[in-house]
Copies of this chain bind each other. A is one copy, B any other.
Amino acid sequence: MESKENLVYRLGSGCELSDIVIGEIYEAKVQGFAKFGTFVYLNSHIKGLIHISNVKSEHVEGDKILVLVRNIRDNGNIDLEEIIIRDYEVNSVMCKKSQTRLGDLKNKVGYNVSLDVEIAQIKQTSGPTIFTMIDETGKENGAAFIEAGKRAYPEVELGDIVHVSGEVMMRNDQLQVEISYMEVLPEEEKQQVLKRIEKALDDRAYPEDLPFMIESEVLEKLKPAMKEVAFIIRKAVFTNQPIILRHHADADGIVAAVSVEKAITSLIREEGGDPDTESHLFKRAPSKAPFYEIEDVTRDLDYALKDNVKYGQKMPIILMMDNGSTEEDEPSYRMAKVYDLTILVVDHHHPDESTDEFLSAHVNPYHVGGDFGVTAGMLGAELARMIFPPVEKYIRHFPAVAAVGDRSEAPEREKYLRLVEDEYSEENCKDIALALDYEQFWLRFNDGREIVKDILNLKNDHVRHKKLVSLLVTEANAAIEEQLQTSMPHVERSVLENDSLLFTIDVEIYAHRFTFPPPGKTSGEIHDILCKENEGKPVVTLGIGPDFAVIRSRGVLMNIPLMVRELREEIIGGGVNGGGHLVVGSIKFVEGMRDTVISGLIEKIGKFPIE
């Protein structure tokens, strides 16, 4: 047989035996030598033999030569003849014609397929190695086996773009490709495939442009940042990347987080995930502190790295809600960044600019002239709709709960309340918020997922929802009442230089400990009563513990962060730090300097102007 003059083919790595044409000339690479001839590779995995009688020159291993395909036998052996030509044109055969997409696998059971995919997880079982593959159409598993418990294709790593061939099977009623061949694509092909997959994934991940549930200038301005967060989360779900949601453990934080939890888990289900997938890919964790503690990031990293090794999972995205935007988070962010974690923040606390260098996206009303009145719960519910629009019908009332829970005074509060007033009165919303706070106290730092859903009426069991909220509100109010009866008689009153009324209470020795309400809330409740009793007057309440004080105030133009900075400098060995908002916050110190710090603090408070 004769080939066309001067036309030579280069076989792409995606090509199979059936893509080779008898009579054509191909580039080949010498692999090794036998008595009866020379073995060459036609691409990365198709091997042929040049019988000794057809070898035309001397080679060493690795030489590139040209060969003519003389025959392909029934057993798959290829008979070649060496060809020597000077000038020729090379034609790359990409073999894309036979490529299957993962979304089509269900129609190919029993067939051999050829796939270009990204590797999204690599799990070694005691039998085969399981590779989770993604492309622009979906996610499926492939199984490869060398030896029991031994990692197949050790050169393939998480995130690689590979070419895979194998037979599509059903195993325990699940689709699976029994991988007969896999290779990492060379750079050029990789870029092509990656671009194709990424492009398609990005298109899918980009959130729909929905109007918000209410009209809000602040929200409109935040839309681009919210879309960015929604985009990153949707893409994580499509590419099997775990998400850890850390949130403030109060009603607003819970509402924010549960909205997004509902959206993400619904999206995982829609993508074919089962309950196990869900628990591997998503975890919600209430935080002890109002920021990301080093202990928390340490635990998150410890688990993530172990899962990465044990289950071959990607490193997670960290999503912070109702906290995360201040300097106090930075030590933990620095730690997370050693492992290149993506960090997202949705918060309504006053942000420190320096924090932004760690964040891939940050939604915060302060960025656009809003304030904490646009609460995390409002942002979370709107974000949830961007992630998975059908979630709306379940969470429409969430922002109203967040609004009253966080005592928002922004115009958005009324709008969200009006949106659901037919079903949830303002009183109902307050009850739900109190029930969340109370229940979270007893849950400690567990997510209490199903109980919380019932409190928020996310399970459509209205009777249970009503019974549960009503019980929790009754218990919470009884506990607050008991605490106040115990503490109020010990409140001490004085009048400061600036004529404001100062009330102090030792919340360590004059309140029940380790029960609801905890010291911060106890101080707040006392302050509320004293404000009512002293209508119209400037009131400051200090709830003092052994090494901390909680500050609540009304009508005094104080600046807590400033006082903390000054006290830290003035009181040597006081170990003073803390902060919060301008007029509400807390201060910490070492126990032995308590009197010095407290009297210094009171002196400073007395010097601020009153309203």
Q: Which A residues form the contact surface with B (CB < 8 A)?
A: 124-128, 145, 148-150, 172-175, 272-277, 279, 294-295, 298-299, 301-302, 305-306, 308-310, 331, 334-335, 338-339, 439, 442-444, 446, 448-451, 464, 467-468, 471, 475, 482, 485-490, 506, 508-513, 547, 572-575, 590-593
Q: What B residues does A572 contact at CB under 8 A? A: 489
For A448, give its contact among B294, B298, B467, B512 (CB under 8 Å). Answer: B298
Q: What B residues does A173 contact at CB under 8 A? A: 127-128, 145, 148
Given the complex of chains A and B, what is the CA–CA distance between A521 and B471 in angstroms?
36
The answer to whether B148 and A450 have CB atoms under 8 Å apart is no
The residue on B at minimum CB distance from A307 is: B450
Given the complex of chains A and B, what is the CA–CA distance between A444 and B296 in angstroms?
11
Question: If A301-B451, A573-B510, A590-B510 touch, does A174 touch B471 (CB 8 Å cutoff)?
Answer: no
Could you tell me the distance in whole angstroms from the C-beta of A478 to the nearest C-beta in chain B?
9
The answer to whether A592 and B509 have CB atoms under 8 Å apart is yes
Given the complex of chains A and B, what is the CA–CA distance between A272 and B127 in angstroms?
11
Given the complex of chains A and B, what is the CA–CA distance between A486 and B309 in angstroms?
41
Given the complex of chains A and B, what is the CA–CA distance between A175 and B574 in angstroms?
67
The answer to whether B273 and A468 have CB atoms under 8 Å apart is no
The answer to whether A275 and B489 have CB atoms under 8 Å apart is no
The answer to whether B509 and A590 have CB atoms under 8 Å apart is yes
The residue on B at minimum CB distance from A510 is: B592
Question: If A274-B149, A331-B475, A443-B298 touch, does A573 touch B486 (CB 8 Å cutoff)?
Answer: yes
The answer to whether B302 and A448 have CB atoms under 8 Å apart is yes
The answer to whether B475 and A575 have CB atoms under 8 Å apart is no
For A295, give its contact among B273, B444, B574, B590 (CB under 8 Å). Answer: B444
Given the complex of chains A and B, what is the CA–CA distance between A488 and B575 in angstroms?
11
The answer to whether B547 and A591 have CB atoms under 8 Å apart is no
The answer to whether A149 and B272 have CB atoms under 8 Å apart is yes
Q: What B residues does A279 contact at CB under 8 A? A: 310
Could you tell me the distance in whole angstroms from the C-beta of A9 to the nearest C-beta in chain B?
37
Q: What B residues does A450 contact at CB under 8 A? A: 302, 305-306, 308-309
The answer to whether A126 and B174 have CB atoms under 8 Å apart is yes
For A274, give its contact among B124, B298, B464 (CB under 8 Å). Answer: B124
Q: What B residues does A150 contact at CB under 8 A? A: 272
Given the complex of chains A and B, what is the CA–CA distance between A310 and B547 in angstroms?
43
Given the complex of chains A and B, what is the CA–CA distance between A513 and B547 in angstroms?
9
The residue on B at minimum CB distance from A453 is: B305
Given the complex of chains A and B, what is the CA–CA distance between A22 and B573 in angstroms?
99
Given the complex of chains A and B, what is the CA–CA distance between A279 and B174 in angstroms?
28
* New A-B contacts (16) at CB < 8 Å, excluding given A305-B450, A487-B573, A510-B592: A149-B277, A275-B309, A275-B310, A294-B475, A298-B439, A298-B448, A306-B449, A306-B450, A308-B450, A335-B471, A339-B464, A486-B574, A508-B591, A510-B573, A512-B575, A512-B590
